[in-house]
Amino acid sequence: SESTVILGIESSCDDTSAAVIRGNKILSNIAATQQVHNEYGGVVPELASRAHQQNIIPVVSKALIQANIQQKDISAVGFTRGPGLLGSLLVGTSFAKSLAMSLQVPLIEVNHLQAHILAHFIEDANIMPPKFPFLCLTVSGGHTMIVLVKDYFQMQIIGKTIDDAAGEAFDKIGKILQLDYPAGPIIDRMAKEGDPLRFSFSKAKMENYDYSFSGVKTSVLYFIQKLLKEDPTFIQSNIYDLCASVQKTIIDSLMVKLEKASEELGVKEVAIAGGVSANSFLRAEMKKREETLGWNTYIPKFEYTTDNAAMIAMVASLKFERGEFCDLDVSAAARYDL
Ligand code: KG4
Ligand code: ZN
């Protein structure tokens, strides 16, 4: 209801985040991103859990202050139970359990992947939520899948990656191109100055609605190794075209399967979610399909694309209305299906 206030907590990977939701309206959404991983070119689990431990209290305090909410106003605590890095999940889970116990309010567990998708239902005056059933291309650093969303908690995975996730492909190819981690946003930015048709990289042809991205990575790697032998400055002098071409390769293959799913299932409500849904080329390609294919597309606000607690609070508020609470002895789940 309108007076229900829920604190959401997210700690599944390398962002510690807390958010407050009242009704369907987000009052605050605070995140501390961890810089410690940048020099390693990927998330180091041990360092991630330590940083969560340091960040969680300040982040929660900030979320409450910004929402102008006191602890006694909290109706329930929602947290990410999984999937994710176990050591990271444990920090948020333990914190949420302790807080719910001391405040004597219900505890609500949230599936991180459902949250990425249900972020579309966060109230916003300018954005309409998707209508069921809709397709949601869920693309992050850890997951790439096409989900048929029949209702809030009735989701069916109809296609997924058999190897690297799309975000992982951006990050790993970025590393080959000597870019910092995470490379996704950097490639997006540099691609704007480049020619997407300059280089072509082979991509795997997959059955059904499945994806494969490790082939693109290998293709880029061999290509770069070969050209670096001829010209040691090849990467630097072609970085914009390289980024644009890599980005086009990854996004095109995402769109091919999404189009196939839309056509074969007869669903024209199509959404995107997850970290890679921040990608400007993917967003533009989605918008194009409104004209060319008659889709209604749903593109999350930028702050709800990468990991955030607002989406966790959103799912918790839906579960609160249904009375779906969990016991205080709940444990984190590194693997957790939709
Ligand atoms: O959802 P997310 O924050 O974390 C996971 O649950 O994995 O997604 C992070 C991923 C990273 O791989 C990052 O490179 C990618 O999302 N990403 C992008 C962009 N912004 C973030 N990839 C392409 N273009 C972007 N603009
Ligand atoms: Zn995520």
User: pTM (2 decimals)?
Assistant: 0.95
- Which residue puts its alpha carbon closest to atom 24 of ligand 1? 279
Residues with CB under 6 A from ligand 1: 13, 140-142, 167-168, 170-171, 182-185, 188, 274-276, 278-279, 306-307
Is 37 one of the annotated binding-site residues?
A: no
CB-facing half-sphere around the CA of 55: CA atoms within 13 A: 26
Query: Does position 205 have pLDDT exceeding 90, yes or no?
Result: no
Judge whether 120 is annotated as a binding position: no
Domains, the chain, with CATH or none: 5-119+305-321 (3.30.420.40), 131-300 (3.30.420.40)
Q: How far is CA 243 from CA 93, 163, 186, in A?
A: 38, 21, 9
What residue's CA is closest to ligand 1, atom 7?
141
184 annotated as a binding-site residue: yes
Using alpha carbons, list the distances in angstroms from residue 309 to 79, 177, 312: 8, 32, 5
Model pLDDT, residue 214: 94
pLDDT, tens digit, 9 for 90 and up, residues 49-86: 999 999 999 999 999 999 999 999 999 999 999 999 99
Could you tell me which of 119, 217, 221 has the C-alpha nearest to residue 168?
217
Cβ within 8 Å of residue 193, ≥6 positions away: 240, 244
Write the CA distances from 235 to 118, 175, 205, 231, 249, integer angstroms.
39, 12, 27, 9, 18
Q: What is the mean pLDDT of the chain?
A: 96
ipTM: 0.98
Q: What does the chain come to in residues?
A: 338
Mutate to test the pocket of ligand 1, among 171, 251, 276, 304 (most ligand atoms within 8 A of CB): 276
Q: Which residue from 94, 100, 114 is spatially nearest to 274, judged by alpha carbons?
A: 114
- Number of Cβ atoms within 10 Å of the Cβ of 89: 27
Cα 274 to averaged position of ligand 2 atoms, centre (Å):
6
| 15-22 and 144-151 beta bridge pairing | unpaired
**Ligand 1 mean position, distance from CA 39 (Å):** 17
Give the rounded percent of residues in the chain with a pLDDT score beyond 90: 91
Is the peptide bond between 83 and the residue preceding it cis, with omega within 30 degrees of 0?
A: yes
pLDDT of residue 43: 85
CA pair distance 190, 238, nearest whole angstrom: 11
Q: Which atom of ligand 1 is nearest to the CA of 84?
A: 6
Task: Determine the 3-state secondary structure of 299 from DSSP.
Answer: coil
Q: How confident is the model at residue 40 (pLDDT cuts 50, 70, 90)?
A: confident
Rounded (5°) CA angle 259-260-261: 90
96 pLDDT more than 80: yes
pLDDT in tens, 137-151: 999 999 999 999 999
Residue 190 has pLDDT above 90, yes or no: yes
Q: pLDDT (tens digit, 9 = 90+) per residue, 241-258? A: 999 999 999 999 999 999
**Which of 111, 305, 306 to mutate to test ligand 1, by most ligand atoms within 8 A of the CB atom?**
306
